[in-house]
Amino acid sequence: MRIIEIAWYRYWDLVQPWMKRRLPWLDRPLMRAFHRYEIWRVSESATRLLGRRWKRSLRRIDIDITYACNLRCNDCNRSVPQALSSTSLTKRDVERFVVDTVASGHDWDLIKLAGGEPTLHPQFLEILDVLRDYRRRHNPRVRIFVNTNGYGDGVKRIIAQIPADIVVDNTAKSGSLQEDFEPFNRAPCDLAEHRRSDYTNGCWITQYCGIGLTPSGYYQCSIAGGIDRVFGLDVGRCTIPVPSDPLHDQMDALCRYCGHFCKQFTPEAQDERLTASWQKAYADWRDRSAKRRRSTAKPTVAAQSETALYTRPPILVTASPMAASAPENILQDSKE
């Protein structure tokens, strides 16, 4: 069974684009047949029979350092066009990640900076230096990647400054229209064909791209962190998940909204790209954002004077579990 799946994905990656252009009469029935298999393979009955299809990665991690982006791509799986946000990780957050990695003895094979467009982060090059220092001191074999859209003169200037020992995955986009993007906002839980799906199966991203670190915490993948940002379920882990934690609770809560859960092979997937769950989630996100803006609006001088005698000094709190700072010497201590 696994051999058949691997063979199909090789076909999908290498042969299907050519088949779609030259032999559409043959390509379409093959696509529909495998779509039916995909739906069955993640069903509750198939999961009980064969086990979960995908496992979360233990050795790879994507770090979404920012949701800022200079493009507004269709089907963006970080919801940048619909839920633009200034939320980001800081250099200090990445230093904390390094401290936790060293303290837990975690041995990464691959660390990738992503977003958003990571090169737009004001501390991007400093964050790269933190990861390079971690590699030099603790894990010489780890590969450090940067995922960039390569779009615009500003982004290209930053790319030119990336050290040669960093792998740059440059998708070289020319605009916001991406014909090969899957319909990310087509939530499986809104579709009748997924009414018996077991979302703890995850998907190929869970296994091959790695877990995700976002401003909301750690997730089974970085896309899940972007979903939680919009839906506000607050299920991110505050520390690096231990190997015995399969993150099934996150998969069950978040994969049901992700268009990547099953590859979208059918023509209907291209027509229905924003299902009811996402429509409601984006509306709720806009409402929450408006309330936050109103609550943080600076009061008038008269209002301040009226309430000054009845209010305590404000207590500063962090907005995400990754925002807590380590003591000034903790990073140095971990290196010695």
Sign of the torsion angle spanned by Cα atoms 23, 29, 30, 31? positive
Return the pLDDT at 315. Answer: 28
Q: Is 244 helix (H, G, I), strand (E, B) or coil?
A: coil
What the block records as the tokens of 251 is: 């998969």
CB 182 within 8 A of CB 76: no
Q: 60-64 and 110-114: which strand pairing?
A: parallel
The single-letter code of the amino acid at 1 is: M
- What averages of pLDDT result for each successive group of 10 residues across the chain (336 residues)? 62 68 78 84 95 91 97 94 93 97 95 97 98 98 98 97 97 89 92 95 91 97 97 96 96 96 61 86 94 73 36 33 42 46
Which amino acid is it at 52?
Answer: R
| CB neighbours of residue 167 within 10 Å | 13
Q: What is the pLDDT of residue 318?
A: 37
SS3 state of residue 102: helix
Q: Are 172 and 152 in contact (CB under 8 A)?
A: no
Burial group, residue 143, by CB count within 10 angstroms (0-12, 13-18, 19+): middle
pLDDT given for residue 302 in this prediction: 42
What's the burial of 129, exposed, middle or buried (CB within 10 Å: 0-12/13-18/19+)? middle
Give the type of residue at 15.
V
Neighbours of 125 (CB within 10 A): 14
CA 240 to chain centre: 15
* Cα–Cα dist 35/50, whole Å: 18
Taking Cα atoms as reference points, which of 132, 317, 25 lies closest to residue 146?
Answer: 132
The per-residue DSSP string of 164-208 comes to TTSEEEE----SS--TT---TT--GGGSGGGTTB-GGG--HHHHH
- How would DSSP label each residue in 260-321? TSS---SHHHHH--S-HHHHHHHHHHHHHHHHHHHHTSPPPHHHHHHHGGG-PPP----SST
Bridge partners of 63, per DSSP, are 113, 213
Residue 221's SS3 state is coil
Residue given tokens 């290196």 in the structure block: 335
Domain layout of the chain by residue ranges: 2-41, 60-282
For residue 146, the SS3 value is strand
Cα 75 → chain centroid? 13
Residue 61 backbone dihedrals phi, psi, to 5 degrees: -145, 135
60-282 — its CATH code? 3.20.20
